[in-house]
Amino acid sequence: MSDVILSCRNVRVRFGGLLALDQVDIDVPSGTIVGLVGPNGAGKTTLFGVLSGLLRPAAGTVQLMGRDVTDLSPQARARMGMARTFQHLELFQDLTVREHVVLAYRVRHERTRLWRDLIDLRGFRRPPRAEDERVDALVSLLGLQSVADMPVAALALGTNRRVEVARALAASTAVLLLDEPSSGLDPRETEQLSHVLRTVVASEGVGILLVEHDVGMVLGLSSMVTVLDFGRCIAVGTPDEIRANEHVKAAYLGDAGGTNGSGG
């Protein structure tokens, strides 16, 4: 199996009297998509908060690249190679696709140029060859060549989801946390995004933790799936094992075998 680049062990989170997560473990190996599903209120968003550094657990540990990062900030984890997307787009509407990727690249690789970029985002001097090559490669990998010079405000939601992934990869991401990436997408856009994620994992070797309300998408993409219910892990297994698990069916998937679900 590929090396585990992100993991947590025995994570527990309390909000007042509510036990939001209880003894939760998860592993995300490199070059692998791991799915995280469960009903509304199961604790998926809370676990994302713990893994990304937005929440500190009452107990348990988080490891990134073999290092204990439980007490590290989101910024420190980002510098180590973690990126996260959110259910709602967080893009600069007036910037083009390519400018998003360039800025993300410079934040990680050329920080001394960042302030000037922020002051005059369209005043880029001619970039180094390494930057040009990496940005071009990512734009191509995500299938964004035809819209590279268009502002993201003019693009469809499905295209902008791919921009988010390209931006994350430009920052030399080793593990990517995707929060409901198919939210608002139609079936065609969802299939396009699924194809892109498979390509990214194969080409870049990143590990992806995927939280999705579209259970069919998760089961179609993931090598392993973790199912949460009321803050506890009730199943971990391959997509086939999850489909066949009676506890999962009762808690979440239903007798139809799980083509629908709810986020939260």
CATH number (domain holding residue 18):
3.40.50.300
Q: What is the pLDDT of residue 247?
A: 85
pLDDT digits (tens, 9 = 90+) for 109-130: 765 555 555 555 555 555 678 8
Spatial separation of the C-alpha atoms in residues 173 and 162, rounded to whole Å: 15
Q: What is the pLDDT of residue 251?
A: 73
pLDDT digits (tens, 9 = 90+) for 68-86: 999 999 999 999 999 998 8
Q: Are residues 75 and 146 in the same domain?
A: no
Q: Are residues 264 and 178 in the same domain?
A: yes
Q: Is residue 86 part of a domain?
A: no
Q: Are residues 162 and 122 in the same domain?
A: yes
| Res 137 pLDDT > 50 | yes
Rounded percentage of the chain residues whose pLDDT exceeds 90: 73
Q: What is the largest CA-CA distance in the chain?
A: 59
For range 142-150, the mean pLDDT: 96
Helix spans in the chain (H): 44-52, 74-80, 97-109, 114-119, 129-141, 157-170, 187-204, 215-221, 239-244, 246-248
Q: Are residues 47 and 8 in the same domain?
A: yes
Split at pLDDT 50, 70, 90, the class of 259 is very low
| Among 108, 138, 171, residue at a domain's last position | 171
Q: Are residues 167 and 178 in the same domain?
A: no
Rounded percentage of the chain residues whose pLDDT exceeds 70: 87
Spatial separation of the C-alpha atoms in residues 124 and 101, rounded to whole Å: 13
Q: Are residues 120 and 202 in the same domain?
A: no
Q: Are residues 132 and 194 in the same domain?
A: no
Question: Residue 255 is encoded by which pair of tokens?
Answer: 């007798």
Structural domains counted in the chain:
2
CB 94 within 8 A of CB 100: no
Q: Is residue 241 part of a domain?
A: yes
| Among 125, 141, 171, residue at a domain's last position | 171
Q: Which residue has the higher pLDDT, 247 or 140?
A: 140
Q: What is the pLDDT of residue 258?
A: 43
The domain in which residue 211 lies consists of 1-81+174-264
| Among 112, 140, 171, residue at a domain's last position | 171
CB 161 within 8 A of CB 196: no
For range 206-222, the mean pLDDT: 94
Split at pLDDT 50, 70, 90, the class of 261 is very low
Q: Average pLDDT of the chain? A: 88
